């Protein structure tokens, strides 16, 4: 993305999500209006018909994710957008997409919960749900932007990763990023990397739908192009036939995980600042990272050796990087608009290598920079 348009434009986070997805080739959207993600559906309803795509307002969120799975099986890059209550309704079909290896993108603009909570208030309470919301052991990729520009870039990246690894990808915003407006400079047309789905290179009668390629991902034939095969959420063999054979089930589930864990360098994206001399690290994601960046800069101006680490890929968890941080600092501080969900994962990985401290708020407002700054002072 080195070549960019010289002139920027004022853009909202949700608008950036829609535009990034369209730039990556999304041509089908099915969704149901819900605060604070509705702008994504509104923009898609206007833009897709002009681009030869399709927009459908569904009767609910269950139907929405079912529709994008169906469109993806027919060869169309597909996306839906929702918030907490709708995301909960999508979990069963999210598991189906993981098991059947159907590429699709689910955008969750988080709001305060549980239940209907405070619909217009920001939160980061869906972090663990995004990883473990659907039942069973399953692969998942979750991306989290902190700015409008990142909302655009990570929306496109979510589409690319979904197509490349045949896995549902979740774009996890929060209300602040979704409704934030910033001047952004977008990549020039044709400069963005777009991932094409790997299709079969054999005739329909020789196609084995779930036989993995060299990267562990099976080539995917589109329905309607002469390739007929069975799609199921049941454990299945390489031909797609349901199977209760323990060997078949074990091989399938391990491959579903391995295609992600074997490609962590390609999937995990992060941003690190001021880590060279850091004795304290603030680890933050989403809109909270904006407050964290301000707090870290303020602390460094006063001579405090503190760094900032932002995981843009929340899941898979950047375990190796966190281990490296833990070996070189005395404290990792994790501010979150929840009760400490990501902190629990950091604590699991870090063990006793360093202290882990949370700054947690669930009052429906963004964590302020001074709250993070005060937490830094407490551990100096």
Number of domains in the chain: 2
219-259 pLDDT per residue, tens: 999 999 999 999 999 999 999 999 999 999 999 999 999 99
Q: Is residue 358 part of a domain?
A: yes
Q: Is residue 208 part of a domain?
A: no
Which among 119, 154, 184 is the end of a domain?
Answer: 184
CB atoms closer than 10 angstroms to residue 248: 16
Please name the residues in contact with 302: beta carbons below 8 A apart, sequence gap of 6 or more.
none
| 5, pLDDT greater than 60 | no
| 291, pLDDT greater than 60 | yes
| 315, pLDDT greater than 60 | yes
Q: How far apart are CA 76 and CA 147, in angstroms?
A: 28
As a whole number, the mean pLDDT across the chain is 96
The pLDDT score that the predictor gives to residue 190 is 76
Q: How far apart are CA 82 and CA 89, in angstroms?
A: 10
Which among 184, 202, 231 is the end of a domain?
Answer: 184
Q: Sorting pLDDT into bands at 50, 70 and 90, what band is 138? A: very high
Q: Sorting pLDDT into bands at 50, 70 and 90, what band is 146? A: very high
CB atoms closer than 10 angstroms to residue 136: 10
Residues in a beta bridge with 173? 109
Among 58-72, 93-107, 181-195, 253-267, the range scoring the smallest mean pLDDT is 181-195
Do the strands 181-184 and 9-12 form a parallel or antiparallel pair, or are they unpaired? antiparallel
Residues 171 and 298 placed together within one structural domain of the fold: no
Do the strands 306-311 and 280-283 form a parallel or antiparallel pair, or are they unpaired? parallel
Q: Sorting pLDDT into bands at 50, 70 and 90, what band is 189? A: confident
Q: Is residue 334 part of a domain?
A: yes
CATH number at residue 311: 3.40.50.920
Q: Is residue 36 part of a domain?
A: yes
Q: Determine contact, residues 137/253, Cβ cutoff 8 Å.
A: yes
- In this prediction the pTM is 0.96
The pLDDT score that the predictor gives to residue 188 is 82
DSSP single-letter state for residue 185: -
The pLDDT score that the predictor gives to residue 2 is 43
Structure tokens at 36: 């604070």
Q: How far apart are CA 63 and CA 59, in angstroms?
A: 7
Which among 184, 213, 243 is the end of a domain?
Answer: 184
Residues 142 and 286 placed together within one structural domain of the fold: no
CATH number at residue 68: 3.40.50.970
Residues in a beta bridge with 10? 183
Residues 171 and 24 placed together within one structural domain of the fold: yes
The pLDDT score that the predictor gives to residue 3 is 44
The pLDDT score that the predictor gives to residue 7 is 66
CA nearest neighbour of 317 among 142, 170, 161: 142
For the chain, give the percent of residues with pLDDT over 90.
95
207-223 pLDDT per residue, tens: 999 999 988 999 999 99
Q: Determine contact, residues 187/1, Cβ cutoff 8 Å.
A: yes
Q: Is residue 290 part of a domain?
A: yes
SS3 306: strand
Residues 158 and 304 placed together within one structural domain of the fold: no
Question: Can the peptide bond before residue 366 be classed as cis, meaning omega within 30 degrees of 0?
Answer: no
Q: List, in sequence order, the alpha helices (H) in the chain.
A: 13-23, 38-47, 61-73, 84-89, 91-100, 127-132, 148-165, 175-179, 246-261, 264-267, 288-301, 319-328, 341-350, 369-379
Q: Is residue 65 part of a domain?
A: yes
Chain CA centroid to CA 264, Å = 14
Q: Is residue 43 part of a domain?
A: yes
Q: Which range marks the domain in which residue 115 is found?
A: 9-184
Q: Is residue 331 part of a domain?
A: yes
Chain CA centroid to CA 106, Å = 8
Residues 27 and 174 placed together within one structural domain of the fold: yes
Residues 145 and 49 placed together within one structural domain of the fold: yes
């Amino acid at each position: 993305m080195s070549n960019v348009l010289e002139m920027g434009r004022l853009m909202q986070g949700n608008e950036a999500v829609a535009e990034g997805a369209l730039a990556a080739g999304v041509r089908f959207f099915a969704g149901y209006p819900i605060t604070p993600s509705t702008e994504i559906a509104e923009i898609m309803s206007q833009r897709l018909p002009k681009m030869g795509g399709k927009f459908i307002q569904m009767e609910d969120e269950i139907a929405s994710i079912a529709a994008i799975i169906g469109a993806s099986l027919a060869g169309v890059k597909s996306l839906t957008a929702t918030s907490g209550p709708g995301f909960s309704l999508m979990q069963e079909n999210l598991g189906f997409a993981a098991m059947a290896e159907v590429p699709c993108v689910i955008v969750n603009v988080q709001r305060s919960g549980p239940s209907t909570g405070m619909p217009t208030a920001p939160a980061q309470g869906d972090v663990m749900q995004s990883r473990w919301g659907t039942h069973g052991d399953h692969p998942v990729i979750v991306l989290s932007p902190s700015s409008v520009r990142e909302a655009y870039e990570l929306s496109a990246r979510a589409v690319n990763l979904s197509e490349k690894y045949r896995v549902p990808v979740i774009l996890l915003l929060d209300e602040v990023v979704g409704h934030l407006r910033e001047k952004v400079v977008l990549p020039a047309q044709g400069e963005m990397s777009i991932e094409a789905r790997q299709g079969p290179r054999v005739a329909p009668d020789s196609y084995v739908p779930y036989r993995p390629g060299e990267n562990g991902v099976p080539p995917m034939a589109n329905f309607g192009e002469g390739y007929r095969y069975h799609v199921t959420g049941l454990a299945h063999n390489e031909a797609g036939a349901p199977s209760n054979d323990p060997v078949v089930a074990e091989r399938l589930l391990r491959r579903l995980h391995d295609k992600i864990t074997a490609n962590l360098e390609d999937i995990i994206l992060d941003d690190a600042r001021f880590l060279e001399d850091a004795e304290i690290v603030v680890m933050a994601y989403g809109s909270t990272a904006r407050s964290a960046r301000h707090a870290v800069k303020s602390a460094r101006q006063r001579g405090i050796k503190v760094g900032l680490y932002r995981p843009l890929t929340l899941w898979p968890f950047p375990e190796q990087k966190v281990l490296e941080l833990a070996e070189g600092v005395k404290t990792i501080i994790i501010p979150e608009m929840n009760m400490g969900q990501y902190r629990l994962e950091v604590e699991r990985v870090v063990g006793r290598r360093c202290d882990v401290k949370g700054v947690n708020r669930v009052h429906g407002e963004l964590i302020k920079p001074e709250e993070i700054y005060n937490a830094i002072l407490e551990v100096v």
